[in-house]
């Protein structure tokens, strides 16, 4: 057991769109990532995906609507929903995902 400092974790991240595992919670990973610009459209067949913005803004585009997240806000994309995250211009995001979740979905 150890205390995690999110500022330190984000400062250690050098690449965009490369989540870093910072903890484990039951069958989930807690991950931090720096997101900048647009990712790709994808979905996760069997898992919901939580995005918690720690710094900056994150736009989550979905086929039927867009959700803009600011610092301190989170959104859960339900499993099977196609989405495209966009860091505007850069977002520091915390994720909680099943260990089996893949970056590009299934």
What CATH number is associated with residue 12? 2.60.120.10
7 — phi, psi (to 5°)? -60, -45
The answer, yes or no, to whether residue 47 has pLDDT greater than 60, is yes
Q: Please tell me the total count of domains within the chain.
A: 1
Residue 79 lies in a domain: yes
- Which carries the bigger pLDDT value, residue 80 or residue 98? 80
Reported confidence tier of residue 106, pLDDT bands at 50, 70, 90: very low
Contact between residue 39 and residue 61 where contact means Cβ atoms under 8 Å apart? no
The answer, yes or no, to whether residue 7 has pLDDT greater than 90, is yes
**DSSP assignment, residue 16?**
B
Residues ≥6 apart with Cβ < 8 Å to 70? 53, 57
Reported confidence tier of residue 46, pLDDT bands at 50, 70, 90: confident
Residue 103 lies in a domain: no
Instruction: Output the CA–CA distances (angstroms, integers) from residue 25 to 21, 34, 35, 70, in the order listed.
Output: 11, 21, 23, 25
What is the percent of the chain with per-residue pLDDT over 70, rounded to a whole number? 95
Whole domain around residue 78: which residue ranges?
Answer: 6-98
């Amino acid at each position: 057991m150890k205390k995690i400092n999110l500022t330190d974790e984000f400062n250690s991240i050098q690449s965009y769109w490369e989540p870093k595992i910072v903890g484990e919670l039951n069958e989930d990973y807690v991950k931090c990532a720096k997101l900048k610009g647009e990712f790709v459209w994808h979905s996760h067949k069997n898992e919901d995906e939580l995005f918690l913005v720690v710094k900056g803004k994150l736009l989550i585009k979905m086929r039927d609507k867009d959700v803009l997240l600011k610092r301190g806000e989170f959104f859960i994309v339900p499993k099977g929903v196609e989405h495209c995250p966009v860091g505007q211009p850069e977002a520091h995001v915390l994720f909680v995902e099943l260990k089996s979740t893949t970056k590009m979905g299934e």
